[in-house]
Amino acid sequence: MAQRGLGRRFNQLWAAVAAGNLGDGVYRVSIGLLAARLTSDPLAFSVLTALGFLPWLVLGLPSGVLVDRYDRRRLALLVGVVRTGVLAVLLGAVAVDRASLWLLYTVVLVLGACETVYDNAVGSMVPAVVGDRERLETANGRLLGAELLAQSFIGPPLASAVFALLAGAAFGVNVACYAVAVVLMLALPGTYRATAGQPERMVRAMGQALRFVRGHRVHRDLLSVVVVLGFANAMGTALVVLWTRETLGVPEAAFGFFLLTSAVGALAGSQSAAWVAARAGRGRTMALAAIVTGLGLLLAAATRSAYVAALGWALTGWAILVWNVVYGSLRQRLTPDALLGRTIGIYRVVAWGVMPLGALSGGALAKVGAGDLRTPIVVAGLLTVAAGGYAALQITNARVAAAVAEADKHAEADKRAEADKHAEEGSNAAEGSSANESTNAGQDKGAEAGAGAGKGAEKGEETVSGGRGAV
């Protein structure tokens, strides 16, 4: 029902995204709760968060090159199989009570590397699946709604409840979700290569995308905001398990339900983002979303009441999803399809690449600040509000509208060029077929003439023979 009106292929992609993100939601809560059983050191805990983001710094752009070079659905399938296998290994370790912090570090690092390819591939498939560029906000809103519904609304309370009963069972649910996502992606029809070629060498391909982003004003300003938001987000959420348990007094079994408040806000944000953007404009909406995100963090940090903190978390969830829907759709709209995977990779390198530093900074701030786990949340809130102020000044509605109009013009030109290319190839094929038919017809006529000459020769021989007989 949520995905009605965008076609069968979109429905199938939506289902695969929902299944995979349910697995993500169960995984993130379960891995955090397992780590909390193994250590209570804020710095050691923040390392776990940092390792999840670290692969984006190294692999974000190369993964974009792969996504622009190979079939995006097949890449998502391959990575889906790998992460299912990795979680199965962790499940086995937990089942025999052999899990360690170092094993968790390894699993988080490998799954983070898988995520660089998977998220990039799925995000690059959306414009091709939807077709209508005007409906990207709607499509992304529904996909992010599915992501949040599964990853934050259903996954966390399910994970915390199952984990409290039996830790291994939580990871079993995780493996099952990833396996279902693989099957659903396998059933998705079509091929999803970029519409144009790219340089053969990976370095040259990455340089092409970097030059495009560097020369585009709106992309540059978006990246400036994204780097601050990524750093602040990691700082504010790195210690959320410890903060809710030790500062707010939330028990282990209820941790997922606390996160559910953020999911409620996020679900509302995913459904209202297109509506807000249509009325306030894309630029103003993104600035508002960043500022509200920061205010929600500050509200959560200002209290020791779990209920008030949950309200702040819900506000933050709404604003983050509004930002993600509008920002993600704008990024797709401004970028040529042939560069989309690499451009998404650049954004992920910038945003997720600074997250390890943000997470470690959060752990250090908590340790230095007399163990107050609210300190990194306060600093993160202030940084996020500042980023929203910058966005309000630089990413205005007028600049965004002009950039979108220019991108749409180029997209139409590329589409016409692609159509002309196919028409020319079809014409050449038809001409080649016609030439072959003419050649074959000429050969047939020559054969007929040769046969006629042969018959004439036979008659001549008969006449000569007859003459000789007469003689």
3-state SS string over the chain? CCCCCCCHHHHHHHHHHHHHHHHHHHHHHHHHHHHHHHCCCHHHHHHHHHHHHHHHHHHHHHHHHHHHHCCHHHHHHHHHHHHHHHHHHHHHHHHCCCCCHHHHHHHHHHHHHHHHHHHHHHHHHHHHHHCCHHHHHHHHHHHHHHHHHHHHHHHHHHHHHHHHHCHHHHHHHHHHHHHHHHHHHHHCCCCCCCCCCCCCCHHHHHHHHHHHHHCCHHHHHHHHHHHHHHHHHHHHHCCHHHHHHHHCCCCHHHHHHHHHHHHHHHHHHHHHHHHHHHHHCHHHHHHHHHHHHHHHHHHHHCCCCHHHHHHHHHHHHHHHHHHHHHHHHHHHHHCCHHHHHHHHHHHHHHHHHCHHHHHHHHHHHHHHCCCCCCHHHHHHHHHHHHHHHHHHHHCCHHHHHHHHHHHHHHHHHHHHHHHHHHHHHHHHHHHHHHHHHHHHHHHHHHHHHHHHHHHHHHHHHHHHHHHHHHC
With bands split at pLDDT 50, 70 and 90, how would you rate the model's confidence at 464?
very low
As a whole-number percent, the residues of the chain with pLDDT over 70 amount to 84
Q: What is the mean pLDDT of residues 184-203?
A: 74
As a whole-number percent, the residues of the chain with pLDDT over 90 amount to 36
Q: What is the mean pLDDT of residues 207-212?
A: 86
With bands split at pLDDT 50, 70 and 90, how would you rate the model's confidence at 465?
very low
- Please tell me the least confidently modeled range out of 31-45, 275-289, 330-344, 430-444: 430-444
**pLDDT of amino acid 135:** 74
> What mean pLDDT, rounded, does the chain reach?
82
Q: Which CATH class is domain 8-190+202-395?
A: mainly alpha
Residue 419 scores a pLDDT above 70: no
Residue 4 scores a pLDDT above 60: no
With bands split at pLDDT 50, 70 and 90, how would you rate the model's confidence at 403?
very high
pTM over 0.85: no
**Residue, of 209 and 459, whose pLDDT is higher:** 209
**pLDDT of amino acid 201:** 73
